[in-house]
Amino acid sequence: MAELTKTLPAPQTGKQRKSEDIGANTKHGIMSRRSKGDMVFDTLNTIFMIIFSIVILYPLLNMVAVSFNDGLDALKGGITLVPRVFTLKNYQTVLGKQSMFAAARTSVLRTVIGTVTSTMVTALLAYILSRKEFLFKKQLSLLYVVTMYVSGGLIPIFIVYKNLGLTNNFLVYILPGMVPAFSMLVLRTYMNGLPDSLAESAMIDGAGHMTIFIKIIFPLCMPVIATVALFTAVGQWNSWFDAMLYNKMDDDLTTLQYELMKLLSSVTNQKATAESAQHSTATVTPTSIRAAATVITSLPIIILYPFLQRYFVAGLTIGGVKE
Amino acid sequence: MFKDPDFAKKLKNQKSLLLLSIPFVVYVIIFNYAPLVGWLMAFQRYKPRDGLFHSEFIGLENFRFLFRNEDFILCVRNTLAMGIINLFLGTVCPIIFAILLSEFRFNMGKKFVQTISYLPHFLSMIILTGIVFDVLSMENGTINKVLMATGLIDKPVQWLAEPKYFWWIVAFATRWKETGWDSIIYLAAITSINPDLYEAASIDGAGRMRRIWHITLPGLKPTILILLIMNVGNVLNVGFELQYLLGNDLVKSVSETIDIYVLNYGIGKGNYAIGTAAGIFKSLVSIILIVIANTSAKAMGEESLY
């Protein structure tokens, strides 16, 4: 809190840069008084940052406002950040749809099951490959690293999956991509950094590899496991194409993202539907329903966002920046 | 090798590791390598009825068809155009954003802007498409309203129905989603630049712009080059999601990419052989591009990927 109060007045007094300033050029500001050019730069930069923030946030907040607004009223336009005619009807309509409910269930299931299995299995592979005594670690690593660069392409993959019986099958969300090579590399690097003595002493006590992995190594890798798991979870939650390609025939297996996509295409017939809506008692429109569905679909991401931010940036710097 | 008694002993000692790794070998072969066998289709008059091993081989006939096919040529052009726009903006915008953010004095504001700048990265393509539809809409779209209010246009523009705007809409939508995220790596690189350099420069009387130009940018150069090489190899991977979701019949001539062509021909029309050939073409060009980029980086005496 003390730091907060110290840094807050910086823009108002502004004449000197506080030494708490993070960033590249920390110290030089103290040395020199701010020149006129500096002031112009700072002013323009601040304006830019404000505009940038508005550009990012406004469309999202506007979507939230529309989702709480009466559908027909919203068509008149002019809704910005607060609903004009407040209603929960859009949400009631979305949540009341059987297809939406089933899709939400599938999305949650694929995210939970997919993330847990993928993270466990990938960590196990990383564990095997981090055993220094393992004779085939080079060959097995290569087998996986190659998959980062070479892919069979859409059609051959489609045919193989079809022959495996993965069409109209929930497993198509889980099995392909269960062992991402990149995550494996990140996990392996982390495990390689753990002291060998941990596994060795357990080995002497008679523990097998599975015991060592589950009881010792896996818990020690939690920070990086969290990163990988969050990566996987967001990917699972957001993907829509696999649902469209493999599972669109089965209503029980489509996902929220795919249902949202169907709502997108229905907006094209906006006017026709709006007119027909006027004759009925409903006051929802495709746009307002879509806004509500969008908010519901992005809710898990927003809730997870503080964690995402923390772990993703950490994960990115683990994997990306070499010094 | 297997006659070596030591080796046999080692092998026996790590029986459990070997047993554990077998499922992983089987898995990667089935899910990642088996589809590669399907590349044979591209050289066949493939009929699902005859299967991969009984279809007639026709050499490069499918590829010849592709290069005489106007639709495909258009798709290649669109992919390249959007790829190059994306490569350019995807390099320049995050660098500028990272520099401006690192020069931003207001600490709380810095954290705030940074936090919201990543947010769109985590939203799905479907949500992004919905936002683009909303923002560009004829009736209530923010863009039309702002442009009308400032007098830049007289009447609302139907942005998504005009072929000339499509590439730029895709480019700006991608930037909206990814600029903050892409800038993380540059921000990290800026933080690792020695602060003494800035101090020395300001003692010598260098202003903000000159410090950015002579210290920050040169400090970022290795990072920029490495990412550029990686992105050149990805130029054809502009994806198809946004193009597929935003595209409509009016802008078909500019919106369809190679991936969409593969989807339409392969899955839509059931012509697996042509679809596979188009996919192989894309992979080949990507590999050539990354080799060229890497070699030229080496020739310039810079870091390279391999």
Shortest Cα distance, chain A CAs vs residue B97, angstroms:
9
| Domain span holding position A63 | 2-87
The residue out of A38, A70, A87 marking a domain boundary is A87
Nearest CA in chain B to A313: B184
* Angstrom distance (rounded) from CA B155 to CA B138: 9
ipTM: 0.86
By the CB < 8 Å criterion, does A120 face chain B? no
What is the domain count for chain B?
1
pLDDT value for A239: 92
H helix or E strand, kind and range, residue A101: helix A98-130
Q: Are residues A129 and A202 part of one domain?
A: yes
By the CB < 8 Å criterion, does A237 face chain B? yes
Confidence of residue A242 (pLDDT cuts 50, 70, 90): very high
Q: Are residues A139 and A249 part of one domain?
A: yes
Confidence of residue B4 (pLDDT cuts 50, 70, 90): low
* Average pLDDT value for residue range A107-126: 96
Residue B37 lies in a domain: no
Residue B4 lies in a domain: no
Which one of A18, A46, A155 makes the best mutation probe of the B interface by having the most chain B beta carbons within 10 Å? A155
Find chain A residues with C-beta within 8 A of B303's C-beta.
none
- In CATH, what number is assigned to the domain containing residue B211? 1.10.3720.10
* Angstrom distance (rounded) from CA A187 to CA A222: 10
Residue B14 lies in a domain: no
Identify the three-state secondary structure at position A320. Answer: helix
Is the dihedral angle over the CA atoms B144, B81, B291, B33 positive or is it negative? positive
Q: Are residues A198 and A182 part of one domain?
A: yes
* Average pLDDT value for residue range A3-23: 35
* Average pLDDT value for residue range B115-137: 92
Give me the residue from A17, A209, A240 closest to B124, CB to CB.
A240
Confidence of residue A323 (pLDDT cuts 50, 70, 90): very low
Contact present, B269 and B215 (Cβ < 8 Å): no
Q: Are residues A238 and A123 part of one domain?
A: yes
Q: What is the rounded average pLDDT for all residues in chain A?
A: 81
Q: Who contacts A118 (Cβ-Cβ below 8 Å, separation ≥6)?
A: A174, A177, A178, A179, A180, A183, A232
pLDDT value for A248: 86
Above 50 in pLDDT, residue A6?
no
pLDDT value for A175: 95
The Cβ of residue B187 has, within 10 Å, a number of other Cβ atoms equal to: 20
Most confident residue range from A4-18, A48-62, A267-281, B185-199: A48-62
Q: What is the per-residue pLDDT across B241-277, written as a single tens digit (0 to 9) for each?
A: 999 999 888 999 999 999 999 999 888 888 899 999 9
By the CB < 8 Å criterion, does A298 face chain B? yes
Q: Do A210 and B216 touch (CB under 8 A)?
A: no
pLDDT value for A80: 85
**Residue B141 zone, left/alpha/beta (φ > 0; ψ -120 to 50; rest):** beta
* Average pLDDT value for residue range A300-322: 69
pLDDT value for A125: 96
The residue out of A28, A62, A87 marking a domain boundary is A87
What is the domain count for chain A?
2
Residue B79 lies in a domain: yes
How far is CA B287 from each of CA A5, A249, B229, B293, B296, rounded to the nearest angstrom? 54, 36, 12, 10, 14
pLDDT value for A30: 44
* Average pLDDT value for residue range A126-142: 92
How far is CA A93 from each of CA A66, A67, B226, B291, rounded to the nearest angstrom? 14, 11, 49, 53
Confidence of residue B171 (pLDDT cuts 50, 70, 90): very high
pLDDT value for B100: 95
* Residue A212 or A275, more confident: A212
Q: Do A11 and B276 touch (CB under 8 A)?
A: no
Residue A216 tokens read as 């010792």
Which one of A25, A110, A149 makes the best mutation probe of the B interface by having the most chain B beta carbons within 10 Å? A25
Chain A / chain B CB contacts < 8 angstroms: 278
The residue out of A87, A108, A133 marking a domain boundary is A87
Please write down the long-range contacts of A62-65, taking CB distance under 8 Å and 24 or more positions apart. A62/B134, A62/B142, A63/A291, A63/A294, A63/A295, A63/B130, A63/B131, A63/B134, A64/A291, A64/A295
Percentage of residues in chain B having pLDDT higher than 90: 47
- In CATH, what number is assigned to the domain containing residue A102? 1.10.3720.10
* Angstrom distance (rounded) from CA A142 to CA A47: 49
| Domain span holding position B190 | 66-124+168-299
Pairing relation of β-strands B44-45 and B56-57? antiparallel
pLDDT value for A241: 92
Confidence of residue B20 (pLDDT cuts 50, 70, 90): very high
Q: Are residues A81 and A37 part of one domain?
A: yes
Above 60 in pLDDT, residue B180?
yes
Q: Do A155 and B266 touch (CB under 8 A)?
A: yes
Most confident residue range from A169-183, A188-202, B187-201: A169-183
Above 90 in pLDDT, residue A75?
no
Above 80 in pLDDT, residue A43?
yes
Give me the residue from A31, A147, A294 closest to B199, CB to CB.
A31
Q: Do B185 and A25 touch (CB under 8 A)?
A: no
By the CB < 8 Å criterion, does A46 face chain B? yes
Q: Are residues A98 and A71 part of one domain?
A: no
Q: Are residues A300 and A202 part of one domain?
A: yes
How far is CA B26 from each of CA A140, A143, A149, A198, rounded to the nearest angstrom? 11, 11, 19, 30
Identify the three-state secondary structure at position B57. Answer: strand
CA-wise closest residue to A103 among A253, A301, A263: A253
Find chain B residues with C-beta within 8 A of A143's C-beta.
25, 28
Nearest CA in chain B to A124: B20
Which one of B93, B100, B118, B126 makes the best mutation probe of the A interface by having the most chain A beta carbons within 10 Å? B126
How far is CA A57 from each of CA A234, A290, B49, B261, rounded to the nearest angstrom? 20, 18, 53, 35
Above 80 in pLDDT, residue B8?
no
* Average pLDDT value for residue range B4-17: 76
* Average pLDDT value for residue range B99-119: 89
* Angstrom distance (rounded) from CA B217 to CA A319: 23
* Angstrom distance (rounded) from CA B238 to CA B263: 15
Q: Are residues A102 and A155 part of one domain?
A: yes
Q: Looking at this protein, which amino acid is placed at residue A306?
A: P
By the CB < 8 Å criterion, does A316 face chain B? yes
* Average pLDDT value for residue range B23-30: 96
Q: Do B20 and A124 touch (CB under 8 A)?
A: yes
* Average pLDDT value for residue range B135-151: 88
Confidence of residue A237 (pLDDT cuts 50, 70, 90): very high
* Residue A206 or B12, more confident: A206
